[in-house]
Every structure is written in structure tokens, then in C-alpha cells.
Amino acid sequence: MIYNDKVEGKFVNLRSVLESDTEFILKLRLDDTLNKYLNKVENDIEKQKSWIKEQQKRENDFYFMIERKCGTPIGTISLYNIIKGEGEFGRWVSIGSPVENVESVLLLHDFGFYKINLELIYSETVRENIKVLNFHKRFGAEVLNEFREYNTFIVQRAIIKKENYEIIRKNNLKIIDYYSNKLNIYNN
């Protein structure tokens, strides 16, 4: 599904993925340092374009580019499998800085809770992907002892409920504000 506006932050914006993003996305997905815990894709630009065209038609699926304020793409992030007030956060692949990554996840949750009025956002992370599971915990998600098989992986669920999101949001905005102030000191 295409969202026609940008979701704007201090360091990054989210905008719907376009076919013109195909080459960048494929490059990310084929990068061995980034794809260890991702489903494998073929090095085929036409298949990637076709996948994007199909994704744009799905009603319950938002796929965003993460861009620096200057427009440079640094990653992707999604909210999909949206059913009965719940949505899945995933397809998150980024070459951004830690603050850009925190902000991209914050913007996605803002979009889910405030723009499309979800009650719960969950993620399913490969059990061995400790770095991302720890990110979810630091961000404020509740990482559950809930596992399931997904393709060739065992994934673990993390959740954020809308009723708990405002405090999570405030805590993460403090991180973003800290970096924003720190960068302003160096830019003056």
C-alpha cells in the first residue's frame, strides 16, 4: 500500500517505497553483513521490482524507505500483516547511525499508533539475532518467550501496546533530542 505523505523526524523521514528504489533495496538485501537473518533473495532486479509492485497493491502492508533529511536513502522499514488493530514491524534493514535507526523505528510506531490507529505492534526476530532483540528491549518492547518457525528460522516475538507507547515514545525522544543537541553544538 502506498502512503502518500512523508513521516517526518529530526534526522530521518519515512516515505513509501517506489519502483525507482529497487536497485538500492536489492543492494541492501544482498549485503552479507546485513542479510544474515533475512530471507534470501535472488540478485534479480526485475523480481525485486515485481515484488514491490505486488506489495504496493496489498491493503495491509506499508513499506517505507528510510531517508536522511537530505533525501539520501539509508534503509527500509515496514508495517504489514495489519489485521484487527495489530500490525507487524519488519523488513527493517538500515545502514544508518544508531540515532537514525532509533528514530526510524519511532516514526514507524508513531505511524502505526497515531496515523492508522493500531492497538498493538509486534515484531518477529530470528532467535539468534541478539543485537536486534536487545534493540527491541532498549527501545521499550516486551520481548516474549514466544517462538515459532518461519521459513528456515526460529523467530521470537516482541510487542508494544498502544497503552504503553507514550512512555516508550518519550524515552526514545530523549535519546533523539540528546543527539540533536549534541550535533547542534558541533554545527554552530
Per-residue pLDDT of 85-137, as tens digits, reads 999 999 999 999 999 999 999 999 999 999 999 999 999 999 999 999 999 99
Global pTM exceeds 0.85 = yes
Predicted confidence at residue 88, as pLDDT, reads 97
Contact 124, 130 (CB under 8 A): no
**Bridge partners, residue 14, by sequence:** 7, 66
Q: Which of 9, 21, 22, 5 is nearest to 115 (CA)?
A: 5
Crossing angle of the two packed helices 22-30 and 45-57, in degrees rounded to 10 = 110
Q: Which three cell numbers stand for residue 133?
A: 532483540
C-alpha to C-alpha distance for 43 and 160, rounded to whole angstroms: 34
What DSSP character marks residue 114? I
In this structure, which CATH number among 3.40.630.30, 3.40.50.300, 2.40.50.140, 3.50.50.60 belongs to the domain 7-187?
3.40.630.30
